[in-house]
Structure 1
């Protein structure tokens, strides 16, 4: 009886150690797979974080560039009020000289007709000279529009004549004026209005938001991975 019991105990202990060895092998394989998964995910997470940081840095640089160009010009502009201008007179006066490039260190003269337009701003009742935009106002204080200088002066003349005829047909046009009346000139269009500022800031804002979302998603994934690992340790 003793020998039979001993043999049974020995066989039971062998089966138990065999089960433990099999369980240990499966566990080692599971841990190895987890390590491989973590090793494979780590470079991808680093690249995603670098992508997010790059997008945020690029958006900040774009904000800086737009701040010293578009936003500064928009803030410094005095033509802030929009009204309706009634065209009183549109006359082509004397020719203005301009220069165009004909090669490296080569400049030649050409001429374009100066179109002077006077309007009445219905909200103020004053008569003012109409200019195309801020750039035209800075280039010429008398002419409504300054075309790009070119060799063919006849083409520039035809362009100015077409603008004059259009203003004679469309006698009421939207315009921008200075409410403080520091500038007597009114503008037909603004280089940087509300729509231009909005569209200029839209893409940097989307890039900044996208970079932040990418970093948040990576951090959330890492947090959930650690949480699952801790829950697994508690269950074991």
Structure 2
């Protein structure tokens, strides 16, 4: 009787562990899919892949500019912000070019080098743009990224999806899948060993 209870408890624990392992594998597969359809295409579309040194030539705040984020939105969704224009000398080719903060900056507004993340409070926006401007003026030389084919002459300061960042993005689902597979293997080994270690009268249950 006691043997039957032990076997039943063992089978119940193995079933839960098996479902845990399968759940971890399924979750990691979904994470792989999400990364594959969202982050990887953006990484592949980035043309600023080579790193060089940029030397600051000019960092000035121009007039306020309109920026419409949604073509179907009304006037209430149009924000004004100081337009920071940064020009640098790309030392690898000795050419003065426009610098953008990230790839998204170039896509959203090619006239400005930097777009604040929150545009609702103009006072905070202005302060943030001024801080960025001062940073450029204090750091005359800094790393930047450019298009090696030179089809796009501008450069960017920070890549949203660098190679090391992409590796870190895949790290968590990889660890989860490895852990899930490891749990499944342990459960199968436990089931295999229990067949040979259980008494003859328990095996027939």
Pick the TM interval, shorter chain: 0.7 to 0.9
The structure, 1 or 2, with the larger RCO (C-alpha pairs under 8 Å, 6+ apart) is: 2
> Contact 1:99 / 1:149 at 8 angstroms: preserved in 2?
no
Residue of structure 2 equivalent to 1:120: 89
TM-score w.r.t. structure 2 length?
0.88
Residue of structure 1 equivalent to 2:173: 204
Compare CA radii of gyration and give the structure with the larger one. 1
Alignment of 1:57-206 (within 5 A): 57-98=26-67, 107=76, 109-148=78-117, 150-206=119-175
Please report how far the alpha carbon of residue 231 of structure 1 lies from its aligned counterpart in structure 2 after TM superposition.
9.5
Specify every segment of 5 or more residues in structure 1 that has no aligned partner in the other structure, as ranges. Answer: 1-31
3-state SS of 2:115 partner = coil
Specify every segment of 5 or more residues in structure 2 that has no aligned partner in the other structure, as ranges. Answer: none
After the TM superposition, list the runs of 4 or more consecutive aligned residues in structure 1 that deviate by more than 6 angstroms: none
Figure out how many residues of one structure are paired with residues of the other and give that number. Answer: 198
Residue of structure 2 equivalent to 1:227: 196
CA RMSD in angstroms, aligned pairs only: 2.3
1 or 2, which has the higher helix percentage?
Answer: 1
In the aligned structure 2, how far is the partner of 1:186 from the partner of 1:213?
Answer: 45
> For the structure 1 residues 201 and 44, does the alpha-carbon distance in structure 2 shift closer, same or farther, using more than 3 Å as the test?
same
